Chains A and B, each alone.
Chain A
Amino acid sequence: MNPVLKLLIDGGSLTTGQLAQVAGLTEAEVNQHLEQLRREGIFLGWRPVLDLSREAAAALAVRAVIEVKVTPERGGGFNRLAERIARFDEVESCYLVSGGYDLLVFVRGASLQRVASFVSEKLSTIEGVLSTSTHFMLRCYKEQGFLLGADDSQTQRLNVAP
């Protein structure tokens, strides 16, 4: 695996300079790797991981996950509809899934009404969408690998030990 990619995945929030030291490369080489990964469409971009229950981060704090049933189309299957839904700004992630429904859509909005109107006016009115089932998220316990609340790093390890 590309050494920079490996570190992006498990290295935490290292700066380019730190990435370079850990990977044993120069900063210029790390930037080249990043550029290459970007060109190949593997590395898509940076996003902060926030605790959205905190007021300071609450601008777009209402989130919902929507189960969507759609009618697949001859030739394109689910792709055309899925891509169309994914383009809305409100949609954070969109997956085709196996099971009782077809698409799992994660949306985010400034208020409950905004999200609700997105579902009723935009999403469910698309031709081919058969039904939606919306689950508003009430509380987050783990966000993309980060535990909220009890954190393992708050340990009282001794500073010096044999």
Chain B
Amino acid sequence: MSTDAQRWVASHVAGLPKSGIRDFFELVAKMKGQDVISLGVGEPDFVTPWHVREAAIYALERGKTYYTSNLGMIELRREISTYVERHFGVTYRPDDQVIVTVGVSEALDLAFRAFCNPGDKVMFHQPCYVSYHPSISLVHGTGIAVPTFASDNFALTAAALRAAWQPGAKILMLNLPCNPTGGTCTRGQLEEIAAFCREKDLLVLSDEIYSELTFEGTHTSIASLPGMAERTIFLHGFSKAFAMTGWRIGYACGPAPLIDAMMKVHQYAMMCASIIAQEGALEALKNGWDNVLRMREQYHRRRDVIVRRLNESGLPCHLPRGSFYAFPDVSATGLSEKDFSVGLLQHHKVAVVPGLAFGENGRGHVRACFATAYDQVIEACDRIDRFVQGLRQ
């Protein structure tokens, strides 16, 4: 048998870099059983609330094991429409402006495949979620990274957008609050971004998966700003706010012709999201809001602890207004983000993710997820402090 199987891999996939998180995952996996506190996760530490799990079990018991409509169950789309209107102030018709997907990740993939021609330019702010740039490459698009900075609390500014803009740019990808920085934009900043999008005729893909986890003030969706709903695909899901990561359930809302285009890809690639996950999501929307608030309150307090402690240890860290990530600057230690992460893991058994995994602008930072119990957060902060003080001596 030939050992040169690599020759069958498509060139644009072969050229795709592996996620920087993967290497680090392997390193942490080797330390199994060694009392490692992981701040390296990208998901809630809460198990999905029982009423949601129970609803899914009930659905199974009733024999709900079949395909649903390509767009997703109409009851779920109605609930999504109501939820989005109530919390984001944008109205979408359940019949043709909402599509249920396998996590927000699938929604994003559908959008890129539906809207991006080979060579089309897609702008995205960086540091950002690991999949954005590769997803653009997979549809033969060209990614344009727009930097965000700690000095702006990692908010995206219209000025940075304008500076990075190139003729032919077609799509702007937003993720506010942002993984890994926790950065958000004020309403004023969003209005400037919206004006820029209208001026340059950009289609906006807005991944608002962390929006419920906004700690100060209220979250504003760019889709709710004047003249934006018609040029925005609103992407959302249940993973973070409802603690449903493993269910893989999300959705997209937007103008009917755009949702229809996404639906074409979805019907051939995925057919529909799992009916069990849809049943769970339906229950989450109907009866889950109290749990969202309860979890958010805990994340809020944990954020305050970790950000205060990191700053006290001499690792400057802005206050992330949303998400469950702190993104401190570790450059004062004299170590690169990778050496810092490896040293912290090996000597003090705390896992954080090197910021470079989230793009060039993550250099000098690490991502520390505070979706873990109070005592673990505090113990991790104690260990980080010992590590940093040790480096000083």
Contact = CB atoms under 8 A, between A and B. Distances in A.
Interface of A: 10-12, 14, 18, 21-24, 152-153, 155, 157-162
A27 to B, nearest CB: 13
Given A21-B305, A22-B301, A161 B21 contact: yes
Nearest to B36: A159
Interface string B16-37: 0001010011001100000010
The 9 closest A-B pairs by CB, nearest first: A160-B40, A160-B25, A159-B38, A152-B47, A161-B42, A162-B130, A159-B28, A161-B41, A162-B42
B375 A14 contact: yes
14 contacts: A10-B298, A12-B373, A18-B378, A21-B309, A157-B41, A158-B41, A159-B25, A159-B29, A159-B36, A160-B25, A160-B351, A162-B42, A162-B130, A162-B179
A157 B43 contact: yes
A24 B304 contact: yes
Nearest to A155: B47
Interface residues of B, number: 32
Contacts of A12: 373-375
A160 B24 contact: yes
A149 B116 CA distance: 51
Contacts of A21: 305, 309, 378
Most chain B CB inside 10 Å of its own CB: which residue of A10, A24, A158, A160: A160
A18 B381 CA distance: 12
Nearest to B25: A160
A156 B54 CA distance: 20
B53 to A, nearest CB: 10
Contacts of A157: 41, 43, 45
B165 interface: no
B47 A158 contact: no
Nearest to B46: A152
Interface of B: 19, 21, 24-25, 28-29, 36, 38, 40-43, 45, 47, 129-131, 179, 294, 298, 301-302, 304-305, 308-309, 351, 353, 373-375, 378
A160 B28 contact: yes
A155 B129 CA distance: 25
A162 B131 contact: yes
A82 B11 CA distance: 80
Contacts of B373: 12
Chain A contact residues: helix, strand, loop or mixed: loop
A160 B41 contact: yes
A11 B305 CA distance: 14
A162 B245 CA distance: 12
A162 B21 contact: yes
B250 to A, nearest CB: 15
Contacts of B129: 162
B351 A159 contact: yes
A14 to B, nearest CB: 6
Contacts of B19: 162
Contacts of A159: 25, 28-29, 36, 38, 40-41, 351
Contacts of B131: 162
Given A159-B38, A161-B41, A14 B374 contact: yes
B21 A160 contact: yes
Contacts of A10: 294, 298
B43 A18 contact: no
Contacts of B29: 159
B210 to A, nearest CB: 13
A29 to B, nearest CB: 15
Contacts of A158: 25, 41
Nearest to B357: A162
Contacts of A153: 47
A22 B25 contact: no
Contacts of B353: 160
B3 to A, nearest CB: 31
Contacts of B304: 24
Nearest to B42: A161
A18 B47 contact: no
A159 B179 CA distance: 17
Nearest to B44: A157
B295 to A, nearest CB: 11
A18 B374 contact: yes
A157 B24 CA distance: 16
Contacts of B21: 160-162
